[in-house]
Every structure is written in C-alpha cells, then in structure tokens.
Amino acid sequence: MTILNRLFIILSISLFASNSAFAQEQTSEQTDSVAQPALPTDLHASFLIADPGLDFYSSYGHCVIRLQCPSAGLDFCYTYSLDDNLANEVAMFRGKGKGQYAAIKTPLFIKEYQELKRGVKNYEINLTVEQVRSLWQILDGEISQGAYRQYNYLKTNCSSMSMLALERCLGDEEIKWGELNHGITGTYRNFINVISEHRPWTGFFWTTILGAGGDETGYMGDKMGPTLIVPAMQDAKFVAADGTERPFLKGEPEVVNESGLVYKDWLFTPWSFFAVVLLLAIIVSLLEWKKKAKGVVVGFDIILLALQTIAGIVIFYLSVISDMTGASHNWNLLVLNPLPVILWLAARKRAWYKKVWLVYTVVLIAYIALLPFTPQVDALRVLMISPLLVRCATKAFLNK
C-alpha cells in the first residue's frame, strides 16, 4: 500500500469520527431541550375496611390498601391474603400456607363485597405524595415476588401486612398512636379474645389451639385487626424528624358499600354448650350410680370420648406436628390428646384398665390446678373439661 493511500484512509476515519461526535452532541442538545413529563401529584392512599363475613375465613373482616391516581385513571386495591385455593387453606394449619399481595381494580373489589352484602368504608391516609409513590413501588415489588411469606392469623394477616407496607414507606417519619385497645397492646391471646367478641366459636377455636406463642406480646402492628385498626387511626398522628405532626387520617371516612348482612345470634355459645354438656354428664353419672339406663350411659360416654378424641387429634397435630405459628407448647395437650381412645381400644378388657379412670381424673384435676398460673387454662377451658372430669371420677369411684 502506498503512502498516499494510507493518508487517505486516516483522513477518512478522522472525518467520520468528527461527524459522529457532532451528531451525538446535536442529539444530546435536542433531547435536553425537550421537557420531561412531570410525575402526577394527585395520588391518594387509603385503607378499605370490610365488615366481617359469615364464614370461618372472613369472620374477622378484611383490610386492604387502596391507591389512586385520578389523572392517570388508576384505582387499585392491594390486598394481602392466603393464596386462594383449598390446598393452601389446609396448608395454613400445617404452617405451610402461603400469603401474597395482589392488586385488583377497586370497582371489582367493591362489587365482590356488594354481592356478599358486606359493608366497606374508605379511610384516606394523610401521606405525602412522595410517600404514596414509595408505597406504590413497595406493593408492586411485593406482587412481583409472589407468595413467599407464611400466612397465619396471628402475625401475617391482611391488616398486619397492610400496616407493615405503610410503615415501610414513611421514611424518617413515625406513627404516634393515641390510646389503644387492650387487644392491640396485650398478648396475641388478648387480641383473639377482643376481636372474637361477636364470634364466640371462632374465638374459642383459636384460643384453644394457641400454645405458649399466644401469651407473647409480640409486635403491636400484628394485632391491628380490621375491627381494631379503625379506632386506633382516629387519634393517631404522623410525626416527622423535626417533631412536626399531622393527623393520620385525612377527612372523614367514606362509605363505599352499605352493609346488608344479617348476623344471627348463636343458639349456643361455648359457655352455654359446655354448661349443658356438664349438666348431662352429671345426670348420666347419677343414672350409672343407680344402675339405670345403661344404654344412655354408654351412648353418652361414646359421644364424649369421640369429641375428646377429635379435639385431641387436632390439638396434638397442630401443637406437635404442624409448624403453625403460636400452636406449640399447648397445655391443653394434657387433657386433649388421642391417648384415652388408644388405651380404650387396646386395653379396655385388661384388669388394670379400671385404674385408667383414676389416673385420668388426677390429670384433669392437675390441669384445673394450672388455672392461676397460665392464661392457656381459663374458666371456659375448665368448663370444657368438666364433663370429662365428672365421668372419669364417677367411673373411678364406682370401680373401686
């Protein structure tokens, strides 16, 4: 290649590079001269609180976060719930149920509750625009991760996870609560008792399966149940790092769906039911003592043993086998376990089996003696096992 040819190639490359740099500079200047669109500022965040339903899973109500941007036509409800299928509902009692955030258009959410005749109110949260943006990003990020958290009624439920997302978006601000209900400031057992005031059997179930974990105070936000979060928000305030405060809520709550659900009173509460069973146990014991109505006595004992066995299997599974939160170390295992029916099936014809009644009577008395020492044994639980005590003591006395 000649020297002239080499010079021509070098000049050509130099000219091309100069033109490319000039073009990039012109493009950059043109881009800078075009104004970037401003982010919308008409953002709103609210809690939507739904009234309790009639079935087991909806008996404590529901809480979701509503996010709106009217200028962009956006209105979504972000709800944290158990992954909606039967297998996952059963898995919850194994401690394996998965919960996740999901987004649903607000009109669809409200329509669902209209069909269920459950009332819904909108409580707008007094967040800054930046905080609402942050909350929106947090919730969208959670949705992208799918169902990766354990769902349980004590710690990761609809309202506690809504509160967690809210707290994460506050930055250097914090929430200053006013006077709070004992259900929020007390233990998880207090929490269940308070929110179950009008759901006696649901409350009885949860307090019976709660073990030592139910006696922990835990994190206050876990106990912001749908029925408790409303009065808590009324006096709450957001406090900035410089000490300035503003109300937690903005304006008055808005009714977005009227309640049309009729809540029927229970014919039998746990108190009245076990009182009747105790009365029947006393009558049956008198009949056995007088050696009358043997068929009635045997039939009553079979039913009582069957109920004790079913309850015992459930408590044993949840406390010993399952990983369900709060169910381990349950004192109810002393009297509610499968051992009595196992002994009855395997050894009822043995001569020593008659002594089992005396042993179990002692165990039941020992359980009652725990009443002053652990919240797991309360007056209702004592009433629950009293029919067993009457029948076991009767048989132990008659078989002397």
Helix (H) or strand (E) holding 75: strand 74-82
Task: Note whether 193 and 207 are within 8 A (CB).
Answer: yes
Q: How far apart are the first and last CA of the chain?
A: 123
In sequence order, what DSSP letters do the residues of 229-259 get, joined into one string?
HHHHHHS-EEE-TTS-EEESB-S--EEEE--
* Interval 262-304: pLDDT, tens: 777 777 899 999 999 999 999 999 999 999 989 999 999 999 9
User: Distance (Å, rounded) from C-alpha 337 to C-alpha 209?
Assistant: 12
Q: Write down the pLDDT at residue 35.
A: 54
Alpha carbon distances (Å) from 230 to 62, 81, 225, 253, 343: 12, 19, 9, 10, 51
Angle at 52 between CA 48 and CA 58, to 5 degrees: 100
* pLDDT, mean of residues 4-19: 35
102 by DSSP, 3-state: which? strand
User: Distance (Å, rounded) from C-alpha 46 to C-alpha 36?
Assistant: 29
Alpha carbon distances (Å) from 213 to 37, 179, 217, 379: 52, 25, 9, 20
Look up the pTM and report it: 0.81
* Confidence category of residue 114, pLDDT binned at 50, 70, 90: very high
User: Distance (Å, rounded) from C-alpha 290 to C-alpha 284?
Assistant: 10
Q: Which is it for strands 245-247 and 98-105: parallel, antiparallel or unpaired?
A: unpaired
Q: Write down the pLDDT at residue 112.
A: 92
% of residues, the chain, pLDDT over 70: 90
* pLDDT, mean of residues 8-12: 33
* Confidence category of residue 4, pLDDT binned at 50, 70, 90: very low
* Interval 327-341: pLDDT, tens: 899 999 999 999 999
User: Distance (Å, rounded) from C-alpha 132 to C-alpha 125?
Assistant: 9
Q: Write down the pLDDT at residue 22.
A: 36
